[in-house]
A and B are shown apart, each in its own frame.
Chain A
Amino acid sequence: MASRARPLNLTVLALAALLLALVLAPLLAVGWRGAGMSLGPADWAAVRFSVTQAVLSALFSTLLAVPVARALARRRFPGRAALTTLMGAPFLLPAVVAVLGLLAIFGRSGLLNQGLIGLGLPPISIYGLHGVVIAHVFLNLPLATRMILQGWLSIPTERLRLAQSLGFGPAETFRHLEAPLLREVLPGVALVILVICLTSFAVVITLGGGPSATTIELAIYQAVRFEFDLGRAAGLAGLQLMVGGIAALGAWKLTRPAGFGAGMDRNLALAAPRGWRRWADGAVLTTCTLFLALPLAAVLWRGLPGLTDLPASVLPAAGRSVLVALSSALITTAAALTLALAAARRPHPVVEASATLPLATSGLVLGTGLFLLIQPFAPPMTLALPVTVLVNVALSLPYLYRILLPETRRLHADYGRLSDSLSLHGWPRLRWLVLPRLARPLGFGTGIAAALSMGDLGVIALFAGERQATLPLVISQLTGAYRMEAAASAALILVILSFALFWAFDAGGRRAAA
C-alpha cells in the first residue's frame, strides 16, 4: 500500500548528513594527505599479504564449514542445541582473546608443541601466514557454519518429502538437493569472510608482523605509531579503502545477513544416512568442537589463577572499555533506529548511503583520517576515547541498521496505517508502538553493538597512550610482552564483560517484549 508522500523528517536528514560526514571527512583527509604518494615494495608486499591471507582464510573457513553444517543439519543428538549456540559465540568473542587461546594451544610452549616435543618431533610455529589463517578460521568457521546451516534448513519440506518418496540415497541427495544449495550459498559466505579478514587487525598484530606477514591495516598502524609518517599512513589507508571497500560493498549487495538469533531447528530433519557416514559426521563434529572449545578452555585454565593478582592497568582499562561500549552501543542503536524507521516509511538514498558507506572503510582507515584532522588542533591522545566511540558507532551502524530494517518495515506494514489514522506520532508513537513492538530486536542489536565495541581493537591502538588504553589493547600489550598468565586473566575479564553486556541488553529486550 502506498503511503502519503511526506518530506523526509529534518532530524533524520541531519542525522544522516552527520553520519556521512563522520565517514567522508576522514576519507577526504586521507585522500588529501595521501594523494601522489608513491608506494614502495614494502607497501605492495602488504597488499599482497592482505589479499593472500584473506583469500586463504575465506576458502578454508567456507570449505571446512560444509561438513560441519551438513552434520548439524542431518543429525539429532544431545547437546546439538548447545553446539549451535556455541557457534554463535565467536561472533562476539574479542579477537584478542581468540588469539590468546590459540597461542595456548598452538604457541611456542602450547599444548600441541609440548606433545610434539614429547614425541621427539620438531615444534611448529604459529607466527606468520598460517597462524593468521588458523586464527581467522577459528573466528569465522562458526559464522560460515551458521550461514550454510541456514541454507540447509531453507530447503523446502516438500522437496525433502519428495526426495524420501523417490528413495534418494546420500549420492542423489547430494546431487539434487545439496549441490545446488551449496552453489548458491558458498560464494556469498566466502565473500563475507574475505571482507572481514581483509580488515583484520587484532589477529595480525600478534600473529603476523615482519616484512613477510604485514597487512595493510598493520602497516598503517606501524606508519602512525612507529615511523610517525602520516603521509605514508594516508597512502596506505587509501589503498585499504580501494581493496577492502570494493569487496565490502560487493558482499553487502550480494549476501543476506546470517541471522544469528534465528532458531536452527526444524522437526523434519534431512534423511540421516547410517553406516560409516554416521561415524564420519561424529568425527567432524568432535574435531570442530575441540578446535573451537580447547583454546577457550585454555584461556579459562590459564586465566583463573591470576584473577586475584591482576596487573594494575587491567581494572581501569576495563572501566574505560565498558564506558566506550555503552556509549557507542546506545548511540549506534538510536541512530540505526532513527534511520530504519525513516527508511521503512520511505526509502531515501541519503539514509541508505549513510547506513552503508561505513562498510567500505575500516577502523584504521577512519582512525588515520581522524588523526590527520585532529592533530593540527590537539594532541590526538587526549581524544582517544571519544574517537573510539565515534569509529565504533560508524562501523557497527550498518549491522544494526540491517538487523532493524526488516523489523521497522514489518511494523510499518502492520501498524503504520492504524497509527496514522489514530494520529499516533512523535514521542507517543515511540513509547506506545515502536519500543514495545521492537524491544526484542532493539535489545539484541544493542547487545551486539556493545559486545563488538567492548572487544574491538583497532582505532584505539592508533590513539591511546597508557592512560587511555582499553581492555583489548592492554591484553594485546601483555600478549606482546609474553606475559601470558596476566593476559589470560585480563582476557577472562574481557570475555565475561562482553557476554554480560550482550546478555543484559538481549535479555532486557526479550523481557520487555514479553
Chain B
Amino acid sequence: MLQLDHVTLVQGAFRLAADWSARAGSRIAVMGPSGAGKSTLLSGIAGFLVPSSGRIRWQGEDLTDVPPGERPVTILFQDQNLFPHLTVSQNLGLGLRADLRLTSHDRVRIDEALARVGLEGLGPRRPAQLSGGQASRAALARALLRARPILLLDEPFAALGPALRAEMLKLVREVADETAALVLMVTHDPQDALALGGDLAFVADGKVQPPFDTRALLANPPPDVQSYLG
C-alpha cells in the first residue's frame, strides 16, 4: 500500500496537497491541467522533492527520508531516460549495479530483458542510434530488470505517435503485470487513461484528488474534470 499521509509538496510559491492511499499493484492515471502539479507529485514519490509536511509510506515503511535510488521506485522521465554515452546494455546494467561490475549472469538477464521488449541484439548500440520508440522500450526494459514495486511514468511517451503510444502502454501493462508494480502514469489523453485501466487521480487547484475508477469518472465527470476535458 502506498500511503500519502497529509503530504504537502512546496516548490517556490507552488503548493500541492495529497492525502490518500493506493493498493499495491494498482494502475493510476494522473491527469489535470498543465502546471497543476502532476510532475510535482511524481517527484515527491520518487524522492527528488522532500515534503514540507506529511509522510509518504510504502507497506507501512516511512519513505520520507529515503534517498531516491533506495526507494522501491522506478521512474521514467519525459526524456533523458538513457545516458547517451553508454551503450543500451550499459544503460540497462546501471539498473542492476551502479558501478557496472556485471557478472555473466547479469549480462544474460540484460539480454533477456532486451528480448522481452523487442530489442533483441540492440544491446551494443548507443541511444542516438535508436528510434524514439526503441529508446522508450530500452527504458522499460531497465524498469523490468529493476523490478521495483512502484513504477512512475512522467509522460515518457509524449513525443510518440498514437499507434506507438498504444503499443508502449501495452508494454507498460505487461511490465507492470510481471513485476506486480503499482503504476502512476501522467497523461493528457483520456484514451491513454482508459487503456491503462484502473483509476484516475485528478490534479487541480493545488490538490491531488483520491484515485477513482477511470471509466466511471470519465462517464460521469464532476464539473472540474468536465471543464478540463472540454
What is A's interface to B at a CB cutoff of 8 Å? Answer: 1-5, 414-415, 417-418, 420-425, 427-429, 431-433, 436-437, 513
Contact = CB atoms under 8 A, between A and B. Distances in A.
B48 A415 contact: no
Interface string B56-74: 0000000000011110011
A510 to B, nearest CB: 13
A420 B69 contact: yes
Contacts of B83: 415, 418, 432-433, 437
A418 B81 contact: yes
B48 A428 contact: no
Nearest to B97: A428
A418 B11 CA distance: 20
Contacts of B12: 2
B212 interface: no
Contacts of A3: 48-49
9 contacts: A2-B11, A417-B46, A417-B68, A418-B83, A420-B68, A421-B47, A423-B69, A424-B98, A429-B98
Contacts of A427: 99
Interface string B19-36: 000000000000000000
A428 B47 contact: no
Given A417-B77, A428-B99, A437 B85 contact: yes
Contacts of B74: 421
Contacts of B77: 417-418
A414 B69 contact: no
Q: Which of A415, A420, A431, A433 has the most CB of B within 10 A?
A: A420
A422 B94 contact: yes
Contacts of A437: 83, 85
B49 A414 contact: no
Nearest to B65: A4
B48 A432 contact: no
Given A420-B48, A421-B47, A429-B98, 19 more contacts: A1-B48, A2-B49, A4-B67, A415-B80, A415-B83, A417-B68, A420-B67, A420-B68, A421-B46, A421-B74, A422-B98, A423-B68, A423-B69, A425-B98, A432-B83, A432-B86, A432-B90, A432-B99, A437-B85
B94 A424 contact: yes
Interface in B1-47: 11-12, 43, 46-47
A430 to B, nearest CB: 11
Contacts of A424: 69, 94, 98
B85 A421 contact: no
A3 B44 CA distance: 10
A509 to B, nearest CB: 13
B49 A432 contact: no
Contacts of A414: 80
A423 B100 CA distance: 12
B75 interface: yes
A5 B52 CA distance: 11
B100 A432 contact: yes
B99 to A, nearest CB: 4
Given A3-B48, A420-B67, A436-B85, A428 B98 contact: yes
A273 to B, nearest CB: 43
B76 to A, nearest CB: 10
Nearest to B146: A422
Nearest to A6: B67
B194 to A, nearest CB: 28
B127 interface: no
A421 B49 contact: no
Given A432-B83, A432-B86, A423 B98 contact: yes
A404 to B, nearest CB: 17
A398 B100 CA distance: 34
B50 interface: yes
A4 B66 CA distance: 11
Nearest to A432: B100
B82 to A, nearest CB: 8
B198 to A, nearest CB: 23
A428 to B, nearest CB: 4
A431 B69 CA distance: 18
A432 B50 CA distance: 27
A437 B80 CA distance: 13
Contacts of B98: 422-425, 428-429, 432
A436 B95 CA distance: 19
Interface string B135-154: 00000000000000000000
Q: Which of A1, A3, A418, A436 has the most CB of B within 10 A?
A: A418
A422 B99 CA distance: 11
B73 A421 contact: yes
A513 B68 CA distance: 28
A418 B80 contact: yes
Contacts of A513: 85
Q: Which of B47, B74, B81, B99 has the most CB of A within 10 A?
A: B99
B4 to A, nearest CB: 18
A425 B98 CA distance: 8
Nearest to B152: A421
A5 to B, nearest CB: 6
Given A4-B67, A428-B98, A421 B50 contact: no
Contacts of B43: 1
Contacts of A433: 83
A422 B68 CA distance: 8
Nearest to B84: A437
Contacts of A432: 83, 86, 90, 94, 98-100
7 smallest beta-carbon distances between A and B, as pairs? A423-B69, A428-B99, A420-B68, A436-B85, A424-B98, A421-B68, A428-B98
B111 to A, nearest CB: 20
Contacts of A422: 69, 94-95, 98
Nearest to B79: A414
A3 B50 CA distance: 8
Nearest to A3: B48
B52 to A, nearest CB: 11
B43 to A, nearest CB: 7
A513 B84 CA distance: 11
A154 to B, nearest CB: 27
Contacts of B49: 1-4
A425 B69 CA distance: 9
Nearest to A413: B80
Contacts of A5: 50
Contacts of A420: 47-48, 67-69
A4 B100 contact: no
A173 to B, nearest CB: 40
A5 B64 CA distance: 13
